[in-house]
Amino acid sequence: MPKVTLKGDPVTVTGTELKAGQKAPDFKLQKNDMSDYTLASGKGKVRILAAMPSLDTGVCDAETRRFNQEAAKLPNVEIVGVSMDLPMAQKRWCGAAGVDKVITTSDHRDASFGKAYGCLVAGGPLDRFLCRAVFVIGPENEIRHVQYVPEISQEPDYAKVLAALK
| Active-site residue set | 60
CA distance 13 to 6: 12
DSSP three-state, residue 86: coil
Element (H, E) at 71: helix 58-72
- N- to C-terminal Cα separation, the chain: 28
List 18's β-bridge partners, or say none: none
Q: What is the dihedral of CA 25, 31, 35, 36, to 10 degrees?
A: 10
CA distance 78 to 47: 5
Q: Which residues of 97-131 are buried (b: 16+ CB within 10 A; e: fewer)?
A: eebebbbbbbbeeebbbbbbbbbbbeeeebeebbb
